[in-house]
Amino acid sequence: MSTFQAPKGTYDLLPPDSATYLAVREAISGPLKNSGYGYIETPGFENVELFARGVGESTDIVTKEMYAFETKGGDRLALRPEGTASVLRAALEANLHKGGNLPVKLWYSGSYYRYERPQKGRYRHFSQVGAEAIGTEDPALDAELIILADQAYRSLGLRNFRILLNSLGDKECRPVYRAALQDFLRGLDLDDDTRRRVDINPLRVLDDKREYVQKQLAGAPMLRDYLCEACKAYHEQVRELLTAAQVAFEDDEKLVRGLDYYTRTTFEFVHDGLGSQSAVGGGGRYDGLSEMIGGPALPSVGWALGVDRTVLALEAEGIALDIPAATSVYAVPLGDEARRVLFGAVTALRRAGVATDFAYGGKGLKNAMKSANRSGARLALVAGERDLAEGVVQLKDLTSGEQTPVALDAVVDEVRRALA
């Protein structure tokens, strides 16, 4: 055992469990790849100001959860707590929006970091797959992203999840609602931190999960009553497109999400089998974020889906993904000459695209065959001195136990035939 352990609130992904995480990432990214989204990768850390401006200085993410540090050169950096601000920064820096082909559609996958109280489903290091459609204001884009996430979850076999939907208004109507909400909240019995939040971003108080706060929110003004006609029409188009695509959703008038940059459409995916940590993903429209970080006006929409939470959702529904074994063929040499010959056969099989492993370390036949079975391989290639003298190796079906001699120069073809 090592002297060191993974930091508190983090985890290591190890085989065979890691194969499930890879399969989830592939399932989430699959619909995006088929819908015009290109892959983007950004650094694991950014300038602190990028998140302070974009995510919001009043959010828990910035004030309490962000890992911030100063470099030897005096730069103030932070481990990325979310992906949208980084992706938009990268797109602006590369001038992707100037090509005339809007929206710029991007997807990403990676690790993110927040200093939170560790619990099941909430870690200090977590994995997400995200998507952003940058530069176009269109209800069809909002609906597209929700539909693609729904498609991804259903491709994994998930059924017990719900889509919550709301509109947060825009720069025309939200300030009016903000003022009305502030007037209401200032009359409540709130702690000093929450009162400061009322002044900075009162909508975040609606997202406060504490029971004594939620009880006082009864009778709070509702955003739907303050939406301008344009926002009402936009939201109704999103709802109509989802309904036409037969994607079920629930209207949730208190849904504000935890980031300050959202405007108009906001949504969340929740799973009823995960207890208090029920959100498996979410997103929304962020039409003003580009200006917040120094760019031009670029109305955009996106989401991020939690890989960790999705795996927990699969477990909650008792879903075991059908994941192919990492190894199809396992080669077992008996003797030095067989080791040389079979290693050549292994190399040829790998070049032919067959997942093949080898009994390293001079294992005896019994131990080598145990390793072959543990690897999940369907076939074993076994060769000793007598086999080589006859110019063959033994091809063994590890399920039936049937064994067949195969000519050395026909190994690749015979293995392919047996696997097919």
Residue 121 reports pLDDT greater than 60: yes
pLDDT single digits (tens) 9-59: 999 999 889 999 999 999 999 999 999 999 999 999 999 999 887 666 556
Which one has a higher pLDDT value, 317 or 208? 317
Q: Are 294 and 52 in contact (CB under 8 A)?
A: no
For residue 60, what pLDDT is reported?
Answer: 63
Residue 382 reports pLDDT greater than 90: yes
For residue 138, what pLDDT is reported?
Answer: 97
For residue 253, what pLDDT is reported?
Answer: 85
Residue 75 reports pLDDT greater than 70: yes
User: Sorting pLDDT into bands at 50, 70 and 90, what band is 358?
Assistant: very high
pTM across the whole model: 0.89
261 is in an annotated binding site: yes
For residue 58, what pLDDT is reported?
Answer: 53
Residue 163 reports pLDDT greater than 90: yes
Mean pLDDT of 101-110: 96
Q: At 275, is the secondary structure helix, strand, or coil?
A: coil
114 is in an annotated binding site: yes
Compute the distance between CA of residue 267 and CA of residue 178 in angstroms, rounded to an integer.
20
pLDDT single digits (tens) 293-340: 999 999 999 999 999 999 999 999 999 999 988 899 999 999 999 999
Q: At 348, is the secondary structure helix, strand, or coil?
A: helix
CB atoms within 10 A of CB 268: 22
User: Sorting pLDDT into bands at 50, 70 and 90, what band is 153?
Assistant: very high
21 is in an annotated binding site: no
In whole numbers, what is the pLDDT of the chain averaged over residues?
91
Residue 61 reports pLDDT greater than 70: no
Compute the distance between CA of residue 67 and CA of residue 115 in angstroms, rounded to an integer.
7
Q: Which runs of E-coded beta strand occur in 22-75?
A: 38-39, 45-47, 68-70
pLDDT single digits (tens) 276-290: 778 999 999 999 899
- The H-assigned helical ranges of 217-267 are 229-244
Angle at 348 between CA 345 and CA 354, to 5 degrees: 100
User: Sorting pLDDT into bands at 50, 70 and 90, what band is 260?
Assistant: low
Number of C-alpha atoms within 13 angstroms, CB side, residue 6?
Answer: 9
Contacts of 158 (CB under 8 A, 6+ apart): 271, 310, 313, 314, 317, 319
Residue 362 reports pLDDT greater than 90: no
Q: Domains in the chain, please, with CATH?
A: 17-173+227-316 (3.30.930.10), 329-419 (3.40.50.800)
Give yes or no for a cis peptide into 103 (omega within 30° of 0): yes
82 is in an annotated binding site: yes
If you compute the radius of gyration of the chain from its CA atoms, what whole number of angstroms results? 27
DSSP designation for 42: -
Backbone angles phi, psi at 302, to 5 degrees: -170, 175
364 is in an annotated binding site: no
pLDDT single digits (tens) 183-207: 999 988 888 888 888 888 788 788 7
Q: Are 177 and 169 in contact (CB under 8 A)?
A: yes
Mean pLDDT of 208-213: 85
